[in-house]
Amino acid sequence: GQSLEQPSEVTAVEGAIVQINCTYQTSGFYGLSWYQQHDGGAPTFLSYNALDGLEETGRFSSFLSRSDSYGYLLLQELQMKDSASYFCAVRDVRSGGYNKLIFGAGTRLAVHP
Amino acid sequence: KAGVTQTPRYLIKTRGQQVTLSCSPISGHRSVSWYQQTPGQGLQFLFEYFSETQRNKGNFPGRFSGRQFSNSRSEMNVSTLELGDSALYLCASSTGATSNTGELFFGEGSRLTVL
């Protein structure tokens, strides 16, 4: 089957840098996505990596190593508003499900002053 | 551009009842998928519809069903509700048959409580 592992909780202070890791096991790989979800809110798309390397979008960056089945989300210059849950996800393409995502259990990030 | 709209936002039902949840995708989006989110299980895929056809189904019992209309709006139905069906039900839309970036646009969900 397909599964993703990520830490359940991470704590950091404002202005710091935090890295949220994600390891995955899939029978076929079509990219790793990251989503952010604030309490009571909708998950929102942050980034997508299909190839190895680092993708940067403002304060957020995402990294992928396909050979290691590993990726991470890097958040820089942390702000209080970054306190949220972060999910990594892969697409389950075995059944042609390009829009069927398998999610990790989520990492709850708490940013403190 | 309006986002994904889900109704109702909150509802309370009792065991044995049924419930219908509605989702209006972003205009122009033809794919709608549904996810169940619970504290213990995270986000679990329920099913995906594209052009009124169910393309994929997750590992949920037959009590969970859905459909998509010609205007891409979608509904999901849960019959014979059980306590374990209490969850946040999220609808997500995307642009086309394949999503190159895996980007889904989620609604804020319908929070179902089963008593």
Rg of chain B taking only CA atoms, in angstroms: 13
Q: Do B42 and A97 touch (CB under 8 A)?
A: no
Q: Do B108 and A42 touch (CB under 8 A)?
A: yes
pLDDT of residue B100 exceeding 90, the answer is no
Chain B CA closest to residue A100: B45
Chain B CA closest to residue A36: B106
Phi, psi of B64, deg, nearest 5:
-95, 125
Q: Do B42 and A103 touch (CB under 8 A)?
A: yes
Task: Work out the burial of residue A34: count CB atoms within 10 Å of its CB; fewer than 13 is exposed, 13-18 middle, 19 or more buried.
Answer: buried
Q: Do B101 and A48 touch (CB under 8 A)?
A: yes
**What tens digit of pLDDT does each residue of B39-60 get?**
878 899 999 998 899 988 899 9
Among partner residues A41, A48, A105, which is closest to B102 by beta-carbon distance?
A: A48
B102 interaction partners in chain A (CB closer than 8 Å) = 30-31, 33, 48, 89, 91, 98, 101
B91 compared with A92, residue with greater pLDDT: B91
A12, A109 Cβ separation under 8 angstroms: yes
B43 interaction partners in chain A (CB closer than 8 Å) = 43, 87, 89, 101, 103, 106
The confidence score (pLDDT) of residue A88 equals 96
**What tens digit of pLDDT does each residue of A41-75 get?**
999 999 999 899 999 989 999 999 999 999 999 99
A97 interaction partners in chain B (CB closer than 8 Å) = 45, 48, 55-56
| CA nearest neighbour of B31 among B66, B79, B82, B64 | B66
Given the structure tokens 């830490």, which residue do they identify? A7
Query: From the CA of B82, how many Å to the nearest CA of chain A?
Result: 23
B36, B98 Cβ separation under 8 angstroms: no
B58 interaction partners in chain A (CB closer than 8 Å) = 100
pLDDT of residue A100 exceeding 70, the answer is yes
B58–A contact, CB cutoff 8 A? yes
pLDDT of residue A94 exceeding 90, the answer is no
The confidence score (pLDDT) of residue B41 equals 80
- Measured in whole angstroms, the distance separating CA A100 from the mean position of its chain's CA atoms is 16
